[in-house]
Amino acid sequence: MALREMVIGDCDDIESYSEPSLCLDKAKELLALFNLPTGLLPLKDMIEVGHNKTKGFVWMRMINKIEHTFAAIGRKVVYDTEISAFVEDRRFKRVTGVKSKELMIWIPVHDIFIKEKEPEKITFANNTGLSRTFNVSAFQIEGMI
């Protein structure tokens, strides 16, 4: 059973979109709502975006895995067909479906956050405590916050 199915309850306030033409826009709106860079998840061919407002849980589903290189930082990232996380202001925690290449090893990303005292920096951490910090500008889409 997917984490998404375990987190959704009958009485929860849920927004879910499965119209491909809306999915990318709704994903960007969610990122902006939580003060995260709108280019953080460069997702293509999305088939579903959802937000459980009651539990602070989001999920995004795509047709295929995506491998993307963030040119500004020279890092490759793989996005699985389903990505999920618990969200709060400036933070994705318990992230699933995102891996970053460190040297020659793919490492799962577990936590993404922007510290209030350093709003120009974003940190990616895995569950072993290793982390990398980059400029937020590397993950921005032109014309969006």
pLDDT tens column, 36-60: 999 998 778 899 999 999 999 999 9
Structural domain of 50 = 14-139
Tally of structural domains, the chain: 1
| More confident: 21 or 81 | 81
In a domain, 7, yes or no: no
pLDDT > 70: what percent of the chain? Answer: 90
Q: Residue 143 gets which letter from DSSP?
A: T
3-state secondary structure string across 61-124: EECCCEEEEECCCCEEEEEEEEEEEEEECCEEEEEEEEEEEECCEEEECCEEECCCCCCCEEEE
User: Domain containing 35 — which CATH number?
Assistant: 2.30.240
Highest mean pLDDT among 2-11, 46-55, 133-142: 46-55
The pTM (predicted TM-score) of the whole model is 0.87
Q: What is the mean pLDDT of the chain?
A: 89
